[in-house]
Chains A and B, each alone.
Chain A
Amino acid sequence: SNRALEGLKVLEYCDMVAGPHCGKLLADLGAESIKIEQPLAGDRARHRGPFAGDDPHPEKSGLFLYLNTNKLGITLDPTTATGKRIFRELAKDVDVLVEDHAPGRMRELGLDYDALAAVNPGLVMVSIAPFGQDGPYAQYNCYTLNLHHVSAHSTQFFIARFDDPGREPVPPGGHAGEYDGGLNGAIAAMAALFGRMLTGEGQYVDVSKHEGLLGLERVDICRFADGDSIIARFGMQIGGLMACKDGFVILTMPQDHQWVGLVEAMGSPEWARKEEYATEMGRAQNHDDIQPRVEAWALQFTKDEIYRICQDCSVPLGPVRSTAEVFEWQQARERGFFQEVDHPVAGKFYYPTAGYKLSATPWRADRPAPLLGQHNEEIYCGRLGYSKEDLARLRADGVI
């Protein structure tokens, strides 16, 4: 087989971004993933844009389409007695269950780890929640916006500050912290599977999106926890965000040889060859002399021009690229980072793939995101042994 997670069976009972991203990471590497959605409405991501052609159709949400590749989709309402029974039947036959409901909700449904481990002792159950399963904020309501700000992932702290610190802080664009929660969920699921190889037992895994974001700041949080609050601001280093003819570039060069490279890239101007500029500390002390000159130099070029000039001298500079520019980027193109996926309702579009290329078991979209309930018959009749008449009754009763 050339699928890394061939044979792994995953059940996903999740909405929106974090949980589905966890499921996607596993499914894209070959796990057989069944996604449970609420009958009629489905995953809430189906009702969020961006929509193909700006048509707010539940099968045309780009958010849903991206996050649910390679999954089989069924509908099920686990609040009904029959729905719960079917959920348990499904959980009996899988290696991993991923869920992202409010802490305590699965217990109310009778579908918590203890109940499911009783029918499947090998089950790895991953719960992804904003603040984890316990603690003072466990039951707090928290959207992506709140998650980013409470984790200090905003311009107040971990994103470079703007020149006008009196104004409101802003978070990273998009759903970054939610994607991170899903990535952490997938890592933890894999860890628990290795644990199972050692002990023969499944286990429960508590993933907090909040702690995922704190974990990305482990260096600075440790510093604060130890009472040392001196943080080098981006502004002390030469470079940072700089304007050029057609947009912005970012230059970071913590190492001295990279300054040497920059001087060379600038054509070795007289002003730059001062001895005190040779060290990072020396450059920081002369920041106000150096920075305007570097910025004036950068303004003469387009971002692509200055990218090549700097990189040819081993200077770590990168253009600030829009989604369009990333998509058109020759490097990403030659690496096949975007691949076409054909969806029966939304159409055929290029999708981002993954940051990694596994030589023996490459990323592959074997199937697009499922239509709502697309695989009900395959799963309920084909696997669980319900008849087509049962299916009709379950549908009429609102169970599926």
Chain B
Amino acid sequence: MKEKRLPLEGVRVLDFTWAWAGPQATLLLALMGAEVIKVESKRRLDHSRLRSLVAGPSMSGPDASFIFNTLNLNKLSVTLNLSKPEAVEIARSLTKISDVVAQNMRPGVLERLGLGYEDLKKVKPDIIMLSSSAVGATGPERLYTGYAPTFAAMGGMAYITGRLGGRPAPLMGTIDLRVGSTGTFAVLAALYHRRLTGEGQLIDLSSAEAVSALMGDAFMDYTMNGRVQERAGNLDRAMAPHAVYRCRDNKWVSIAVGSEAEWRALCGVVSDARLTDDERFADAFSRWQNQEALDEVIGEWTVGRTPVEVMEALQSAGVAAMPVYGGEEIVTDRHVLARGVIEEVEHPLMGTKKVLGPPWRLTKTPARVLRHGPLLGQHNDYVLGELLGMSKDDMARLTAAEVLY
């Protein structure tokens, strides 16, 4: 059978991103089949290639980072030392044959190198440029810096995350990937526009604003009512039960009830007269008012069971109950396994590594994992030789001059 085509076949992306957020944006494009050429250099390694507290102690070198691998699947790597004018010239030549340029360096850095949007537009008038930064490329704080936890803090999500009356909770890497996904969508929209009109453009992505856009309703509460939403733990503004309950072995299960039918189903499964005979639990309003007492009764039922037992018993009656999972449980969960969420990819240094494919399934032109994250400079020959027509001698000279470095 003929191999299915990838949806972004024929789209080329010149990728100056590093860390997590930018690489996630181009990762999704690479999984869709775009040819993503990652520009890197030993002089300035993507810090996901480096040993760190997050990467752990087992890493043998920059080509053996599982973090880099998982965020850079399907991409190509070319090493350009952008402190050398010749490398900048090569980057410009690559722009000429690219559709998209992506970057998340500190605002102003690429501009100083002569690789800002205005410069690149001159060599490729219809280029699309994704420029991702902490708080956007305009405004008084445009030069400020940040990472996922600070984006979450400044965008408003950390403030509403935490226990009722407790401290806010820092959100971590997931925020970077949310910012990256937002960038992917913007690039696809800009590409669509270019296909129809021939016009390229600059996408100025603010990470903090990308976070805020994912909690729009909380902002509406403020702009409509002047109300500041606070941390509320597992509480819902209307539903009860709506909580996590302790299970056997200090595990937890989440249960949420959104209708009378679900409430009756829960009562049927738990089968405790204290739920059905108590006026305090007789309707949704009363249950919400008396949820502490309600949670106590339900908790007595869950505490002797495993989260999966609770899930199966309640779900068979149509009640929303799911275990509270950590990493170990996710990777062995039967639904995750049945859906094939975790795939394997062969890596030349690390051997077989587990990775995640795209979080959506396209039936006719499926996005998919094709190969491991690139070794540093692995595709110099292809990119410079084949795409730019450079001779072996030229490349040797540029290597010696630490332009390809």
Contacts and interface: CB of A to CB of B under 8 A. Distances in A.
A172 B150 contact: no
Interface string B309-322: 00100010011111
8 closest Cβ contacts across the A-B interface? A355-B210, A62-B220, A173-B160, A318-B150, A195-B365, A188-B360, A225-B354, A215-B359
Contacts of B162: 162, 170, 173
A214 B163 contact: no
Contact of B189 (A4, A136, A214, A334): A4
A206 B358 CA distance: 11
B293 interface: no
Contacts of A48: 237-238
Interface residues of A, number: 157
Nearest to A224: B327
Interface string B223-259: 1111111011110111100111010001010111010
B216 A358 contact: no
A342 to B, nearest CB: 13
Contacts of A356: 182-183, 186, 203-206, 210
Interface string B160-179: 11110011111111100111
Interface string B115-141: 000000000000000000011101111
A215 B73 CA distance: 13
B54 interface: yes
Given A194-B7, A226-B353, A143 B258 contact: yes
Nearest to A240: B170
A77 to B, nearest CB: 19
Q: Is the interface of A mostly helix, strand, loop or mixed?
A: mixed
Contacts of B58: 228
Given A152-B326, A353-B213, 16 more contacts: A66-B220, A140-B322, A143-B256, A146-B320, A162-B166, A162-B169, A174-B215, A174-B218, A179-B215, A193-B192, A198-B9, A215-B356, A322-B159, A349-B223, A355-B212, A361-B189
Interface stretch (A79-87, A127-135, A381-389): A127-135
A323 B356 CA distance: 34
A322 B155 CA distance: 8
A209 B378 CA distance: 35
Interface string A55-88: 0000000110111000000000000000000000
22 contacts: A62-B220, A66-B217, A134-B338, A143-B258, A148-B254, A152-B325, A160-B169, A174-B218, A193-B192, A195-B364, A198-B10, A201-B364, A206-B360, A206-B363, A211-B360, A212-B360, A216-B178, A241-B169, A251-B150, A280-B53, A326-B154, A356-B186
A49 B360 CA distance: 30
